[in-house]
């Protein structure tokens, strides 16, 4: 898709990010991707994500460089009153403040919502915390792994005869960031209508719980407690991953009447669509183990690439279980701009996922990778007309 001549969707919006680790900075990254000017404030020594995972040549992690792309990097010691006053002055020039401290921490430094909104009523103050700003657990520290556990995700993740497992990425942190961005966009729209800012309160635990699909209504209606079921989808079938002849795994979703019929025809077993065990979704769910065994007996006779092509031509949703190496060389990911590259101020190239979603008219585009601590503090203070000597 050609880059549009229109400004990115959030061009003209300035965000002050007081966050660290995953959730707050991921929300800031998403806003920066959409064209907002994001001013990220770190402690003078840099935030902790700089030390997580494999390090780039300049000593910051590759994760940090990608995770904080497109931002201007500022550094202040928020324990120092003079620095706090400078941050307050910056906030007065911002549309959004985004933070993921424990509830009450910023208020202790004079940077709580009430203090800042008193002279900036249009401020949108977005807080991400473990349990939200109120309720009996609100004062507790909370991380994504705890939120995934308490929010019900890990209870249903894994196999029934094994312990709960994490999902391989920081799902709780990142889904809370998505809700933070949704709240930010909604509050910006509301401010356009009535001129008033707002406080947006996002809890990691409830963000995870909101993803649990039918768990609550089914429990309330029938006392069903969803539990770990491996790769099988308990509410529709067939939907699983199946081994192929070359030792790969193919995800197949045949859980629709027409789709299941096409899958049976692709397998050369059209009679299965009329079999009483598999004739409708309820029957297929009841006999899912038997049906999965039939499907995998067939997929084990197929090479994965040929099988993928066959199912695509048959109109059956399917795709291989892909590693990051597979994704990095995949033509579709490349055609969609999802295998992207950015550079930091040293010219170091950093691979990074592309922008989601895509826009036809107000297109967004990637700019720079995150770089050195304190890289942009002086330039931002000059731009905002603030005294450089007040920065510490």
Catalytic residues: 173
What is the separation, in whole angstroms, between the first and last Cα of the chain? 45
| Residue pair 374/391 in contact by the 8 Å Cβ criterion | no
Tokens of 257: 């009447």
Neighbours of 173 (CB within 10 A): 25
**Which of 230, 234, 176, 177 is CA-nearest to residue 208?**
176
Q: Are 234 and 226 in contact (CB under 8 A)?
A: yes
Cis ω before 357 (30° cut-off from 0) = yes
Dist. CA 374–CA 40, nearest whole Å: 10
Which ranges of the chain does DSSP label H, i.e. alpha helix? Answer: 23-33, 62-67, 81-91, 105-108, 113-117, 144-150, 171-194, 204-209, 215-222, 257-267, 281-286, 288-299, 304-314, 324-328, 331-335, 377-383
Cα–Cα distance measured from residue 129 to residue 137, given in angstroms and rounded to the nearest whole number: 11
């Amino acid at each position: 898709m050609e880059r549009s001549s229109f400004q990115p969707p959030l061009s003209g919006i300035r965000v002050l990010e007081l966050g660290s680790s995953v959730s707050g900075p991921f929300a800031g990254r998403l806003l920066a991707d959409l064209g907002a000017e994001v001013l990220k404030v770190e402690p003078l020594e840099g935030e902790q994500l700089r030390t997580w995972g494999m390090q780039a040549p300049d000593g910051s992690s590759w994760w940090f460089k990608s995770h904080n792309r497109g931002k201007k990097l500022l550094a202040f010691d928020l324990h120092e009153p003079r620095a706090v006053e400078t941050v307050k002055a910056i906030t007065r020039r911002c549309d959004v403040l985004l933070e993921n401290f424990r509830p009450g921490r910023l208020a202790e430094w004079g940077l709580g919502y009430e203090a800042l909104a008193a002279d900036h009523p249009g401020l949108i103050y977005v807080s991400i915390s473990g349990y939200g700003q109120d309720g009996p657990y609100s004062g507790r520290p909370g991380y994504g792994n705890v939120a995934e556990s308490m929010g019900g995700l890990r209870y249903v993740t894994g196999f029934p005869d094994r312990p709960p497992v994490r999902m391989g990425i920081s799902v709780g942190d990142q889904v809370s960031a998505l809700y933070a961005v949704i709240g930010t966009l909604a509050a910006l729209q509301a401010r356009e209508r009535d001129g008033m800012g707002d406080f947006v309160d996002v809890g990691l635990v409830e963000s995870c719980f909101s993803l649990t699909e039918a768990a609550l209504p089914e429990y309330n209606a029938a006392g069903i407690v969803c539990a770990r079921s491996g790769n099988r989808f308990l509410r529709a079938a067939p939907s699983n991953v199946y081994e192929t002849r070359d030792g790969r795994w193919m995800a197949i979703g045949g859980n629709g009447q027409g789709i299941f019929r096409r899958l049976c025809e692709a397998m050369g077993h059209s009679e299965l669509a009329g079999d009483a065990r598999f004739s409708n979704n309820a029957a297929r769910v009841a006999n899912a183990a038997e049906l999965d065994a039939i499907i995998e007996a067939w997929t084990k006779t197929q090479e994965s690439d040929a099988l993928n092509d066959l199912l695509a031509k048959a109109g059956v949703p399917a795709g291989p279980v892909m590693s990051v190496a597979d994704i990095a060389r995949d033509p579709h990911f490349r055609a969609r701009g999802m295998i992207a590259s950015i550079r930091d101020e040293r010219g170091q190239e950093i691979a990074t996922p592309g922008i989601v979603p895509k826009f036809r008219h107000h297109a967004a585009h990637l700019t720079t990778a995150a770089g050195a601590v304190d890289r942009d503090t002086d330039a931002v203070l000059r731009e905002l007309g603030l005294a450089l000597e007040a920065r510490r």
